[in-house]
Chains A and B, each alone.
Chain A
Amino acid sequence: MTSDDTASAAAWLAAYLDAALPPDQIGAAVASTRRASAVVGQRADALVMEDEPAGFVVALDRLQGKRS
């Protein structure tokens, strides 16, 4: 992570929220959110175009009482 990333994130937060995280927290915030985003992004490749959020509720109903 470069100081540019931190500076960009700080600027984004300041512009979006009219407020900034304290400088000692911005680096940790960037690292934390970038890491979690990467984790989700890695698994996004397994998704197909037709996967959508509403599929979850449908799956809960479908999987009720089902055993493999």
Chain B
Amino acid sequence: MSLAALAKAIARGKISSAEATAASVKALGTLGRTLNAVAGLDPDAAMKAAKRADRERAQGRKRGPLHGVPLAHKDMYYRRGRVSECGSIIRKGFVPAVTSTALERLDAAGALDIARLNMVEFAMGPTGHNPHTGTPRNPWNPEHIPGGSSSGPGVAVAARMVAGSLGSDTGGSIRMPAAFCGIVGMKPTYGLVSRYGAMPLSFSQDHIGPLTRTVEDCALMLQAIAGPDPKDPTTSPRKPPNFRADIEKGVRGKTIAVAKGWFRDGMSDEVARSLDAAAEVYRKLGARIVPVDVPSLDHVNDTAMLITGCESASFHEKWLRERPQDYSPQVRMRTQQSVLYPAVRYLDALRGRERVLAWFVGQVLGRADAMLTPVLSFAVPTIRETDVGDNPKAMDLVIRVARNTRPINYLGLPSLSVPCGFTRNGLPSGFQLVGRPFSEALLFRIGRAYERETGCTDKAPPNSFTG
């Protein structure tokens, strides 16, 4: 059942929160362990919260649009008094003193927070590998990567354990698990969602957003968490619009730019065909399709990685000094080496963002309402072939995994990942719709049009919870 349908069913009393939560708890405790999606689960606490939600509903006290709906999130969202371990040894047993704004807003919407989900160590990786917690398994084929760093959310939502999950995206970490697991993910505009109380990776490029099974669900979850927050001074002061108001209005008259040029470099034939097929769907639905020859964004990727390196090294400096052995070798190397970046170059990277953003919106997006690009330019690889620890040559492949998503983080633009079929190896493929700042409602509308036409979110993976 989708998040929207579940919320409605609970609100109308057709299903109790206790029933829905019991099912999710069972799923997380069984399939969730098998697929290694779960970092922490407290069934008693979950059922207690669900029964309270049912009592409140019976008394006419509905908290919000997600009242009683069980959700679970990437284990980097702080909740006062509960551990948040960030996929690491360093943060093992860490109990924060604050609660993240995103969780507080989901609480206010009535949602239940029933489990912590696995992630890449400190969110530093696009594949899902984690030598400390074990790597979550793609429910379409457990030998393949689920994507990272929001690996647990991607798996848990795709495998029908929960209807929605918060992830985070600094280089593609919502969009990659969404695409690799065949679900929907939104990396919103920088500043739309408060980062307060979420573990930072790169405070200039971190974005908080939902992973869900459907486009409408994604809009519903984003609605609950978006908006200004005095605790995060980088949030936009604008009040968010109603993300679902126009969601069924289709794409007639809209212009969608299909990315050529740089986004096509290294693209496999099958991914190119699926992207062109998606464009054809939009054309038949009445959208104007225009090709856009995107010049090289290699420098944007390099600049984004420099910023991430410097900012993460700053956060981790003390631990790198005192406990380097408690990091995985790859995370340790990435953060330690970033100390070598000159401060002036870090500042140049930040100062240049306004110009690059203005250029991209003006010259690349141009008059288009959104740009269509693949999330991954080739079929989802296996866990083994992307295991850098096992095979140093795998690093080249790992770097290519986030190639298409990372520039969008530097730009701070919204990007919606939508599933669009399967590659020959049976794994999902996904495209991303990149829009202007704060155009999430339009991206949902465009994504929904494709979803409605193709049923792209209907199919469940072979390893799904069925009760």
Give the B-binding residues of A (Cβ under 8 A). Answer: 9, 12-13, 16-19, 21, 25, 29-30, 32-37, 39-44, 46-47, 51-53, 55-61, 63-68
Contacts and interface: CB of A to CB of B under 8 A. Distances in A.
Contacts of A9: 340
A56 B320 CA distance: 30
A17 to B, nearest CB: 5
Q: Counting chain A CB atoms within 10 Å of each CB, which of B317, B347, B367 scores highest? A: B347
Interface in B185-227: 189-191, 204
A64 to B, nearest CB: 5
Given A41-B345, A61-B437, A33 B352 contact: no
20 contacts: A13-B337, A29-B333, A30-B340, A32-B337, A33-B341, A36-B309, A40-B306, A40-B352, A44-B352, A51-B351, A51-B355, A53-B347, A53-B353, A55-B354, A56-B354, A57-B234, A63-B357, A64-B438, A65-B438, A68-B366
A16 B276 CA distance: 50
Given A16-B339, A43-B352, A47-B352, A68 B362 contact: yes
Contact of B354 (A21, A44, A58): A58
B238 interface: yes
| Best-buried of B234, B320, B337, B412 by chain A (most CB within 10 Å) | B337
Contacts of B457: none
B interface secondary structure, majority: helix
A40 B348 contact: yes
A44 to B, nearest CB: 4
Contacts of B348: 40-41, 43-44, 47
A18 B415 CA distance: 40
Nearest to A65: B436
B363 interface: yes
Given A51-B352, A68-B363, A12 B438 contact: no
Nearest to A24: B392
B39 to A, nearest CB: 28
A36 B363 CA distance: 24
Nearest to A52: B351
Contacts of B386: none
B231 to A, nearest CB: 16
Interface of B: 189-191, 204, 234, 236, 238, 298-299, 302-303, 305-306, 309, 317, 320-321, 324, 333, 336-342, 345, 347-355, 357-358, 361-363, 366-367, 412, 436-439
Given A63-B436, A67-B436, 14 more contacts: A19-B336, A36-B305, A36-B345, A40-B345, A43-B299, A44-B352, A51-B352, A52-B351, A56-B357, A60-B190, A61-B238, A65-B439, A66-B361, A68-B366
A46 B342 CA distance: 18
B303 A60 contact: no
A35 B299 CA distance: 11
A39 to B, nearest CB: 4
Given A53-B350, A56-B354, A63-B436, A37 B362 contact: no
A44 B340 CA distance: 18
B51 to A, nearest CB: 43
Contacts of B339: 12-13, 16-17
Contacts of A64: 436-439
B346 to A, nearest CB: 8
B352 A46 contact: yes
B288 to A, nearest CB: 13
Contacts of B345: 36-37, 40-41, 44
A67 B234 contact: no
Contact of A17 (B317, B342, B367): B317
Contacts of A65: 436, 438-439
A41 B299 CA distance: 11
Nearest to A60: B437
A33 B363 contact: no
Nearest to A49: B351
Contacts of A39: 298-299, 302-303
A66 to B, nearest CB: 7
Which of A12, A36, A66 has the largest number of chain B CB atoms within 10 A? A36
Contacts of A32: 337
